[in-house]
Amino acid sequence: MKWRAYEPDVLPLWVAEMDVQLAEPVADAVREALRLGDTGYPAGTVYADALSGFARDRWGWDLDVERTAIVPDVMLGIVEVLKLVTGPGDAVVVNSPVYTPFYQFVTHMDRRVIEAPLDAGGRLDPATLETAFTRAVEGGGRAAYLLCSPHNPTGTVHTADELAHAAELANARGVRVVADEIHAPVVLPGARHVPFLTVPGSGSGFSLMSASKAWNLAGLKAALAVAGSEAAADLAAMPEEVSHGPSHVGIIAHAAALRHATGWLDSLLEGLDENRKLLSGLLDKHLPGVRYRPGGGTFLAWLDCRALGLGDDPAAAFLERGRVALNSGPSFGTGGAGHVRLNLATSPEILEEAVRRMAGSV
Ligand SMILES: Cc1ncc(COP(=O)(O)O)c(C=O)c1O
């Protein structure tokens, strides 16, 4: 999608696909499945077993495979989990600015989005969360909190204390937490991901996890929903047909990534760390009006372009004048105006060319 959606002269640094070679262990596993003709329906807990091993090694988290369900992808998994804990017309709290499909999927399923904007430092704001949770249950409906951890687009890696506080505030009002942790493996040197379900008070919550972002497998559909210790019965009520959605070959690929491609992931993280330093330097040099506070997670950079005088949607000017495609800030909700999201997961050469084109558009 990244390289096909625009005209050939446009440099694409938008959708969260990475310009990387597929990890060899993943390619081997897929090739072997094709050689065997192993292309039928999925069965068993191979994906959950692989995630459990990865979670233990990376985060010291003993994830209970019994409390998992395979889902077609993270967004459809979120939709199915939200159906378990809310009804039509109920509220879903999100921390704007946030991943655009949070708004789209939630409103398409007839839930209301309530924004609890991040603070000026891009962090969760307890007072704002408390107000949003209170509003969400006003009138007696059920409510959920769709947490993005690490946060897309700012790259914020939430701390254990922040997460525990958010859980406490949600619990006090009966708001169910659904944590989208798709970017969890993409946490760069200097930061550490804390799985939501490991913090105190998270038992009634859920997590959605997938290898799709970290290993660039979005075209090989599969993801996992994980229930907290008190949410197992809810997850068990997920309709069986949801598990027919993920691709069997996708599951093979994701499991191989989690089991055998951690070295590849570590190299990726080193490269991304280099790229965020490179981007900071390039912006200082060519576009000093842009404010960039590198986040600890994701391969996305959230750029405050308000000082450039390009209006609410600088991505439009960068595309039109510079032929570089970035994500448009306003689509991320409140706090997005005057911003763009740039995808760092590319070569240093492309990153340099992108900043050069952006600078030429101002
Ligand atoms: C926070 C977040 N959630 C979900 C997704 C989409 O995941 P999937 O393709 O598994 O639905 C993305 C993709 O970039 C994302 O950034």
What is the fold of 11-21+263-360? Aspartate Aminotransferase, domain 1 (3.90.1150)
**How large is the average pLDDT for residues 276-291?**
98
Please state which CATH class domain 40-260 belongs to.
Answer: alpha beta
Domain range summary for the chain, segments of one domain joined by +: 11-21+263-360, 40-260
Q: Are 300 and 339 in contact (CB under 8 A)?
A: no
pLDDT classification of 238: cutoffs 50, 70, 90: very high
348: number of Cβ within 10 Å: 13
Q: What is the pLDDT of residue 112?
A: 97
Centroid of ligand 1 to alpha carbon of 108 (angstroms): 17
Model pTM score: 0.98
130 C-beta closer than 6 A to ligand 1: no
Instruction: Name the residue at shortest CA distance from atom 13 of ligand 1.
Output: 16
The pLDDT of residue 68 is 98
Q: Is 220 in the pocket of ligand 1 (CB under 6 A)?
A: no
Residue 332 in contact with ligand 1 by CB distance below 6 A? no
Q: What is the pLDDT of residue 204?
A: 98
Q: Residue range 37-41: average pLDDT?
A: 95
Q: What is the position in ligand 1's atom list of the atom closest to the CA of 76?
A: 11
Residue 272 pLDDT? 98
What is the pLDDT, as a whole number, of residue 83?
98
Instruction: State the average pLDDT over residues 242-271.
Output: 97
- Distance in Å, CA 343 to ligand 1 centroid: 14
Kindly give the distance from the C-alpha atom of residue 75 to the centroid of ligand 1, in angstroms, as a whole number: 6
The Å distance, Cα 309 to ligand 1 centre, comes to 31
Tell me what the mean pLDDT of segment 78-99 comes to.
98
Could you read off the pLDDT of 171-196 as tens digits, one per residue?
Answer: 999 999 999 999 999 999 999 999 99
- 293, 311, 310: which is closest to 301 by C-alpha? 293
pLDDT, tens digit (0-9, with 9 covering 90-100), for 116-149: 999 999 999 999 999 999 999 999 999 999 999 9
What does the pLDDT read at residue 76? 98
DSSP bridge partners of 343: 300
Contacts of residue 57, defined as CB under 8 A and 6 or more positions apart, other chains included, come to 262
Cα torsion 233, 234, 237, 241: sign: negative
